[in-house]
Structure 1
Amino acid sequence: MNNTTQIKKNYRFIKLQKLVIVSILIGFLSAFLGIVLKNATEYYEAIFFHRATLNPVFFIVFPIFGLSIIFFLREYLFKKKENKGIKEIFESVNSKTKNLPSYKISSHFINGLLTVVSGGSTGIEVSTVVATATIGAVAQRKQNVFRQYKTELICAGVSAGITVLFSSPIAGILFSLEVISKKATRAFILTNIIAVTVASALVYLLHEKPLFSVHVTTWHLKAIPYFILLGVLAALHSVYLTRTVLFFKSQFSKIAEPHFKIIFGSLILCLSFTLFPQLYGEGYHSMKSLFLNPNDTTLTLSLGLTFVGIIVLKPIVTSTTLASGGDGGVFAPSLFIGAFLGLLLALLLNKYLDADVIPINFMIIGMAAVLSSSIHAPFTAIFLVCGLTNDYTLFLPILVVCLISKYTAKMIYPFTVYSYSPSIAK
């Protein structure tokens, strides 16, 4: 072996070592940030929501307060730059010159927390994804040896963040692959597996539990036609969600004065929370209540109307939150809508068709189906929901329904809130 070959071999080995070390660091920092944001949001959202239920005037005060603080932080701390969510990641990975600036870590962390605890009807998932992607982007810029691994290291941060939010390392990697990278290089596989392994270890050490505690016993072949119906309904509603978000952002962009956006958006949120308090924040508190005993729920007229109102209004309050300056995306809203939609369909089938379906199964499958069709990432949705519930009993029907919902939604409207741009749509 000549000297040149040995030098090249040593260089590749050193580069591999550095890549492993930086992946461990990204995995730890991203996981730690995600855990802190998740727990802080859950804790303070519960306090704020309890306060608002005792005195409904806070349904007005909290959204105005949260959106106003976010506006002032953006104006005077975060360089007057709006957070554009996952589109910021796309812009970075698709460009050699554009990068995620380091302030995006604090920007998305603070704004995501403020948005949800003050009632913004979205979730912290996108805030976490962009913040952890920025960790990867910052690490990539530290040494020239990492320049060629920009996408891989950004995805490593994203995968670790998703892992801690949903207790599913597979969902973390699949989301990075399906939505961001679109290709699995050897460097992608190495960096992302290391990052999610570190994130999973931190989740285990800190005893982080799955978001929902459910007990699924079985599913029946006779329910397959109804599962397919749920997939189609989920696709239709995801298109409604996507179009509503895009419409509200377009309309609010025409309002020149930021404080008018905040006031108008807060009034819509206030009215919605007064009618349906379940719409406050990311909505996981309401979903946990649904999961307590859904199989024994009896459909009444008032309950049915409540479910319909929640399902129809959720995309509107989510869109209002984002258009008014709030931070977030469609992850939590999709899961929320899917749970209510699935339970409502199951109760209707049992009452009027004597279908004898299992409501909790429809809730879980509905969550995955709406998420799959909202972000066009069926495999992410499958493992994410299975990780959330810590149960894989429904894996096969979830797989079928997620594929149906995605391709049905794509036929109706080919864009997601992440992929849409006016230039492409023309």
Structure 2
Amino acid sequence: MTSTIRNFQFQKLLKLTIVSILIGFLSAFLGLALKKLTEHYEEIFSQQATTNPIYYVLFPIFGLSVIYFLREYIFKKKENKGIKEIFESTNSKSHNLASSKISSHFVNGLLTVIFGGSTGIEVSTVVASATIGSVAHRKQNIFSEYKTEFICAGIAAGITALFSSPIAGILFALEVISRKITRSFLVSNLIAVTTAFVLIYILKEEPLFSVDITTWHLKSIPYFILLGILSGSISVYLTKCVLFFKGQFSKINVHYYKIIIGSCILSASLLIFPQLYGEGYHAIKQIIVNPNEIKLTLSLVMTFIGILILKPIVTSATLASGGDGGVFAPSLFIGAFLGLLLALLLNTFLGANVIPLNFIIIGMAAVLSASIHAPFTAIFLVCGLTNNYTLFLPILVVCLISKYTAKMIYPFTVYTYSPSLVK
């Protein structure tokens, strides 16, 4: 009897391992494919728009229209709700993520960003990879109890592929989705992210941002604290913008009116600030090249303030009018520009002599931490993006400050907000 039980447990563990490897590989491959396609075509389309600004008007309305057509006639009118779809699935034994979510989020996420939608592919990847885990859990009755674990394994592998950080993948699945740790969670997620990391190692994936960070100074700690408070505050602005626009657009009965209004907001903003096009990673790469040589001028201050005010608005308009995405990339973008602006102001008016590059990197992590209430995910994700852990300690401090600042001002994120919670 004992040997039979042991044999059953061994077979179960073996199947769990094999399925976790498959989930890790498929989720990572999907994430990498979406990442590469998006980078390639976003660069092409954004260059065309830079050369001929009329495309800033044409691309958004075309992209959102195609997404609407696909949703209506190809994806069976199923609305993409983002990460809330995952919560609906993990909180219910009967509700599962439809397999069509893999293709719909992949295609719609790609189209949203390459045609100028001011968001990122991260949430599209997360939901698509979560669906891979959901499909795997349904294939054998033996895995019926591992629904959340397999969904999290897919998510963790997808995040690992996008940001080259297995720790960030597991932490995101734990902090945002599962919120509890079990032995089966550890086994499935560790195997999935290891598989994903092996794949990106074989493919020689480079960090998204190439930076050379060598030191930070204790005298900067008060300024880091200030950055954390500002990051928490602006993240609340981003969250409230998204919720406000979604609420207002939900009152519009004719969907194409949503597309027209959203496109007008997006096009007008892109004509003023082309940096807002797509994910915005291209703009971050420009400011991290040599931020020490950037001189503070009135026009630069006005540009940065305009970008910081408009980014949450255009992100919200993109999502509310039917675009696919979330707040990952916008948070990193806002944090980078906020950090640089603060560093330039401190150096110019207070003679603080802080290192602008450090503030850019810490700002990215801080705004992301506050936007999703997941500080440890933000820490390892940004360190993975830069492949540099020199700033680990100040990032840790600032991420915690920004998260709790945001929670004090407004207790919800775009993932956790529900109208019933505020009644």
Superposed pair shares fold, TM > 0.5: yes
CA–CA separation in structure 2 for the residues paired with 1:145 and 1:410: 40
2:53 is aligned with 1:56: yes
**Residue matched to 1:189:** 186
**Residue matched to 1:31:** 28
Structure 2 counterpart SS, 1:355: coil
2:167 is aligned with 1:170: yes
Q: How does 1:107-146 map to 2 (within 5 A)?
A: 107-146=104-143
**Residue matched to 1:336:** 333
Structure 2: any 5+ residue segments left out of the alignment?
Answer: none
**Residue matched to 1:216:** 213
2:355 is aligned with 1:352: no
CA–CA separation in structure 2 for the residues paired with 1:103 and 1:170: 28
Amino acid at match of 1:250: G
CA–CA separation in structure 1 for the residues paired with 2:315 and 2:266: 9
**Residue matched to 2:393:** 396
**Residue matched to 1:65:** 62
What are the superposed Cα offsets for residues 328-347 of structure 1, whole Å, 9 maximum, x if unpaired? 00000000000000000000
Structure 1 counterpart SS, 2:138: helix
What are the superposed Cα offsets for residues 400-425 of structure 1, whole Å, 9 maximum, x if unpaired? 00000001100110000000000112
2:367 is aligned with 1:370: yes
CA–CA separation in structure 2 for the residues paired with 1:374 and 1:56: 32
CA–CA separation in structure 2 for the residues paired with 1:7 and 1:76: 51
**Residue matched to 2:292:** 295
- 1:7 Cα deviation from its structure 2 partner: 1.4
- 1:5 Cα deviation from its structure 2 partner: 1.8
Tell me the matched-pair count.
423
2:403 is aligned with 1:406: yes
What are the superposed Cα offsets for residues 66-115 of structure 1, whole Å, 9 maximum, x if unpaired? 10010011001111011000000001001001000100000000000000
Structure 2 counterpart SS, 1:411: helix
Q: How does 1:197-276 map to 2 (within 5 A)?
A: 197-276=194-273
Amino acid at match of 1:336: F
- 1:8 Cα deviation from its structure 2 partner: 1.2
- 1:11 Cα deviation from its structure 2 partner: 0.7
Task: Give the ranges of 4+ consecutive aligned residues of structure 1 lying more than 6 Å apart after TM superposition.
Answer: none
Q: 1:284 aligns with which of 276, 281, 285?
A: 281
2:419 is aligned with 1:422: yes
CA–CA separation in structure 2 for the residues paired with 1:47 and 1:414: 40
- 1:366 Cα deviation from its structure 2 partner: 0.3
Structure 2 counterpart SS, 1:145: helix
- 1:237 Cα deviation from its structure 2 partner: 0.1
Structure 1 counterpart SS, 2:411: coil
**Residue matched to 2:80:** 83
- 1:217 Cα deviation from its structure 2 partner: 1.2
CA–CA separation in structure 1 for the residues paired with 2:399 and 2:111: 32
- 1:369 Cα deviation from its structure 2 partner: 0.3
- 1:118 Cα deviation from its structure 2 partner: 0.4
Amino acid at match of 1:200: F
- 1:282 Cα deviation from its structure 2 partner: 0.5
- TM-score, normalised by the number of residues in structure 2: 1.00
**Residue matched to 1:326:** 323
Structure 2 counterpart SS, 1:87: helix
Amino acid at match of 1:391: N
- 1:367 Cα deviation from its structure 2 partner: 0.3
CA–CA separation in structure 1 for the residues paired with 2:36 and 2:421: 38
Percent same amino acid at aligned positions?
Answer: 74
What are the superposed Cα offsets for residues 8-58 of structure 1, whole Å, 9 maximum, x if unpaired? 111111000000000000000000000000000000000000001111111
**Residue matched to 2:19:** 22
Structure 1: any 5+ residue segments left out of the alignment?
Answer: none
Amino acid at match of 1:45: E
Structure 2 counterpart SS, 1:98: coil
- 1:358 Cα deviation from its structure 2 partner: 0.3
What are the superposed Cα offsets for residues 332-382 of structure 1, whole Å, 9 maximum, x if unpaired? 000000000000000000000000000000000000000000000000000
Say what the alpha-carbon RMSD is for the aligned residues.
Answer: 0.5
Q: Which stretch has the larger CA shift, 135-144 or 292-301?
A: 292-301
**Residue matched to 2:5:** 8
Amino acid at match of 2:257: F
- 1:216 Cα deviation from its structure 2 partner: 0.5
CA–CA separation in structure 2 for the residues paired with 1:5 and 1:83: 48
- 1:288 Cα deviation from its structure 2 partner: 0.5
Amino acid at match of 1:410: K
- 1:206 Cα deviation from its structure 2 partner: 0.7
